[in-house]
Structure 1
Amino acid sequence: MGSTDTKAKKPRKKLGLTSAIFIALGLGIVCGVIFHYFIPEGFVRDDVFVNGIFYVVGQGFIRLMQMLVVPLVFCSIVCGAAAIGDTKTLGTVGVKTLVFYIFTTAVAVAVALTVGNLINPGVGVDMSSIVAGDVSALDSGGSSTDVSIVDTLLGIIPSNPLGALAEGDMLAVIFFALFVGIIIAIMGRKAETVHSFFEQFNDIMMNMTTAVMYVAPFGVFCLLSRTFAGVGFEAFIPMLKYMAGVLIALALHCLVVYMILLSVFARVNPITFLKKFVGVMVFAFSTSSSNATIPLNIETIVNKIGVDRRIASFTIPLGATINMDGTAIMQGVAVVFTAQLFGVELGPIEYATVIATATLASIGTAGVPSVGLITLSMVFNSVGLPLEGIALIMGIDRILDMTRTAVNITGDAVCTTVVARQEKRLNLEVFNDPDAGKESEKMTDAA
């Protein structure tokens, strides 16, 4: 009798946020496939569900996350810079972060070009079976593809900080926030009131992020349902070699290159890192937005990995803006695919140009869905490839975009962990604790 009472009083295990997002992702894919193949086209399927409920809830969730990004990034970087205090240390962290991001992006393109030339994705493809998209938006006078390096560098300095905040110009926001944080650190006690304001506002933004994350599984379910309801599997068949090339290169970069960097430079167990970070990767996969993933990335890297918040608040937002390894990989494979498809010969000089252009193109790229297609036109122009190649991969890019976003944000987290370790700002006890951070992601059960 007593044992029965004990069992009855045993509390139910609560569902964690990561588990809930995993479940929502799986159910969303299944639901989308069912809608695509088993429910006939018509008002109910297309207008009520696919372009109605799924679209509104999914995009509503994305907008909630985007709503938090600019104020959260601004306050995080101000607080991080002010808390680090020593401008020399801040400069060291900044230089290491930039070098790491640029290096890994260049490696990513090299990996993609190597994989592309090994599997030859454009050889033997029947172009008549591929539905081409519209590339007019990518070649409308060159406004989006002909931005010089000088203009990109000057664009970092905002002529109107409030305008940069309103428009979500992340490089300009980061520059201004960093400037404000450094001045607060230099002024010390004279700026205590302003410093406290930003710290308290940052806490408010973190609490808002926690509140928004409670609806993440519903948003993920609707985003995946709508994607698979519209795409199905037919569009993939003629592009399987191209997709395989991108996915193989992404896997190699994420599971080999990043893990080696963690082992060598951070001296931590990469398997432990992956286990703790997989929830953020799933979230990035479902939203296809590096910017929308910033809040969850920061919280995970601080609470589960053990990185000092002052480091994470600086490197994660910066990475979401300038570190696009996954996007660079897609561009590398796309170059090989298009060159083979149209019979364009590329030599060592052209491949070196692709590596340099794709690396530079990632700087200042907005962390929003499918932006890689825009910068891809810049890469194609650098080696004389026809933009029609971009039109051919548009149809299946959504799925690849989801995967490469997961790699993008993983690169940000790996860099943050490496820099924190080298600056002695990584708590190894937290990193090695399998339960670290779990209390912050508990979801309430239904009564």
Structure 2
Amino acid sequence: MMNLPLFLNLLVFLALLFGLAQTRHRNWSLAKKVLLALLLGVGFGIALHTVHGAGSPVLKASIGWFDLVGNGYVQLLQMIVIPLVFASILSAVARLHNASSLGKINFLTIGTLLFTTAIAALIGIGLTNLFGLTAEGLVAGTQELARLQVIQSDYAGKVADLNVPQLLLSFIPQCRERSESDQCH
């Protein structure tokens, strides 16, 4: 019966999370807390692989639920990166006492941006010439349109194949801002 071992795995996982949450009441450094979490995670993973075996369906189902916590945490962190960087830059500019130094900072920032862009462009031009790349294949053809129809028809099936933890995890966006051409899932 797969439900009981899965339930027990989740119960142990939640107990470990609760134990890690209790470390906030101790005067431990963040490094000690992270090291403890790492050691507990590695030990728990080894124990699960020993008990269930590497290809076990119970282990795969358990990992799906564990990913809800781990990947959810990472995706939530990714969501705050852009506003955090923006706030840090804004705070640094607001703390400038000498307004003339702002011009120097802007000049250095724009200069660095242009310099790195020029290097990237030169590398791109060099690789294009080295491999003889052209723009002939950039126009969408019948193969691309056929592939698009296959992808669109398969999308509904992939959503139906998600289990509960994957479905819950899909509600947390992985990125804050991207252009429409980029995929953000």
Report the TM-score, using the length of structure 1 for normalisation: 0.18
**Bigger Rg over Cα:** 2
